[in-house]
Structure 1
Amino acid sequence: MSYVDGFVLPVPRDRLDDYRKLARKACRIWMEYGALAYHEAVADDVPVGKSTSFPRSVKLKDDEVVVFAYIVYKSRAQRDKVNKQVMADPRLAGMDMKSVPFDGKRMFWGGFKSLVKA
């Protein structure tokens, strides 16, 4: 099977191009270190639910969109190795979290074991 890291985060609409540039850079770096796949997607059909939903999960503001991202690895051990290398990479290690094009305080993420895979 495989292992997946998933992320959900709010991005200001007027910073979406900046976010895309950062995501492309991150994609190249994760893939260089061995990720099997890297995907970033912007919300298109995510209605606000009555109690839970993607917009509610990040306390989405009117001028923001939800981004859903996931990275696929061979295993959790491989994920841990790749992430350690990525976080030490100078292209990302010195990133100022105050200047990134998203609110990291409202982002959430986690690692998942595959349950079903085609």
Structure 2
Amino acid sequence: MTYVAGFLTPVPNGNKDAYIESARKAWPLFKEYGALQIMETWGDQIPEGKHTDFKRAVALEEGETVCFSWMIWPDKQSHDRCGASMQTDPRWQEMDMPFDGKCMMWGSFTPIFEETA
């Protein structure tokens, strides 16, 4: 069964193009480690919630936009192997990170229901 990694990232508005370019550069490496799909999205309608919301989740600051992203993996083992490679494969260190990684949040998920049209 597939495995999903999800991310919320606050990105300075002026770094939108750099963020897109960073994703384009990282994709071949993720794919080499087995990723099947990546989806990077730029916040369009991010409403404020009463208790929590995307903005508070990443401590969004003025002039930033929340990016919501996910990656599909063939299985947890492929995902974990890629994660471990970030400590050993020097190509990861060459990647630009046009955002403050301290405010990024991520997690990995086992699908429990999936349907397509």
Q: Same fold (TM over 0.5)?
A: yes
Identical residues among aligned pairs (%): 40
Partner secondary structure for residue 17 of structure 2: helix
Partner secondary structure for residue 38 of structure 2: strand
**Would you say 1:106 and 2:95 are equivalent positions?**
no
Equivalenced residue count is 115
**Would you say 1:41 and 2:41 are equivalent positions?**
yes
Unaligned segments of structure 1, at least 5 residues: none
**Would you say 1:11 and 2:11 are equivalent positions?**
yes
Using the size of structure 1 for normalisation, the TM-score is 0.87
Distance across 2 between alignment mates of 1:87 and 1:110: 18
Whether the aligned pair in 1 keeps the contact of 2:33 and 2:78 (CA below 8 Å) is no
CA change 1:111–1:71 in 2 (3 A) is same
Q: CA deviation at 1:94?
A: 4.6
| Superposed structure 1 runs of 4+ greater than 4 Å apart | none
Unaligned segments of structure 2, at least 5 residues: none
- Provide the aligned C-alpha RMSD in A: 1.7
Using the size of structure 2 for normalisation, the TM-score is 0.88
Q: CA deviation at 1:116?
A: 0.7
Matches within 5 A, 1:6-85: 6-85=6-85
Whether the aligned pair in 2 keeps the contact of 1:13 and 1:64 (CA below 8 Å) is yes
Q: 1:4-26: CA deviations, max 9, x gaps?
A: 01110100001111111111111
Distance across 1 between alignment mates of 2:36 and 2:85: 15
